[in-house]
Amino acid sequence: MPKTVEFIADHLPRVTMEDVRRFISAVEIRDARAFAAELQAFVHERVKAVEIPAALEAETVEQTLACKVGALRASTRWVPGETDIQRGRAMLLEAFERPHNLPLPKFAKLANKSRQQIYKDIVARRLLALNVGPRGQKLPDWQLDPVKQQLTQTVLQEVRNIDNWTIYRALSEPLEGLGERSPVDVATPGSIDDVAKSVFNVLGVHVH
């Protein structure tokens, strides 16, 4: 039985006493409530007996789904307000100023590399760098560890269209699949590829 007809039959309005009064002049009704119940059942049976062509049924379902989708779609595109932008910038600044994010000159010194080489590594996506406006660049200090740097580079090489802040969060925030530990905390020489897959899943990236 077509589901659309069944749905209609199951959602018909109840026959009321006012409806029953319409038949008084035509038939003798001894029990109004019983008559209403029988009339309700009769209409229900007749509606369910209707056969809707398959093409029309499919069209009806499609129209129903289209209406539901339309109801979920906002009439205007969401645009962040000034408060939202300020809040987002404050959160970026807070993360930017965390102790483990080092200014480029300090990172270069600890890595025993020149600033020029660090810039080249950033451009080549071997190192992850963060920035907030004119405050210069900072690099997470976990990249001073060869294993964690390799994990970061593996991710950077595969997600070229995702902004660095999103990558930073995916690498540094705890994941349920990693026992509520962050990818950079659990990475070992033998687990880099597996941990990278967890990061790709968070980023919604499919890697062959």
- Structural contact between residues 32 and 17, judged by C-beta atoms closer than 8 angstroms: yes
Shared domain check, 122 and 22: no
Shared domain check, 189 and 163: yes
Domain interval for residue 7 = 3-72
Instruction: In whole angstroms, give the CA distance from residue 198 to residue 144.
Output: 22
For range 159-181, the mean pLDDT: 89
- CA angle 17/20/22 to nearest 5° reads 125
For range 44-50, the mean pLDDT: 64
Shared domain check, 105 and 174: yes
Shared domain check, 66 and 20: yes
* Number of separate domains in the chain: 2
Shared domain check, 191 and 100: yes
Shared domain check, 93 and 9: no
What confidence tens digit (pLDDT) does each residue in 53-63 have?
555 455 555 66
Of the three residues 41, 72, 103, the one that is the final residue of a domain is: 72
Shared domain check, 93 and 191: yes
- Structural contact between residues 20 and 35, judged by C-beta atoms closer than 8 angstroms: yes
Q: Is residue 80 part of a domain?
A: no
Instruction: In whole angstroms, give the CA distance from residue 174 to residue 180.
Output: 5
Shared domain check, 169 and 98: yes
Q: What pLDDT is stored for residue 1 in this prediction?
A: 44
Shared domain check, 143 and 105: yes
Shared domain check, 97 and 9: no
- Structural contact between residues 17 and 24, judged by C-beta atoms closer than 8 angstroms: no
pTM of this prediction exceeds 0.85: no
Q: Is residue 78 part of a domain?
A: no
Beta bridge partners, 139, equal: 102
What confidence tens digit (pLDDT) does each residue in 102-122 have?
999 999 999 999 999 999 999
Of the three residues 72, 105, 132, the one that is the final residue of a domain is: 72
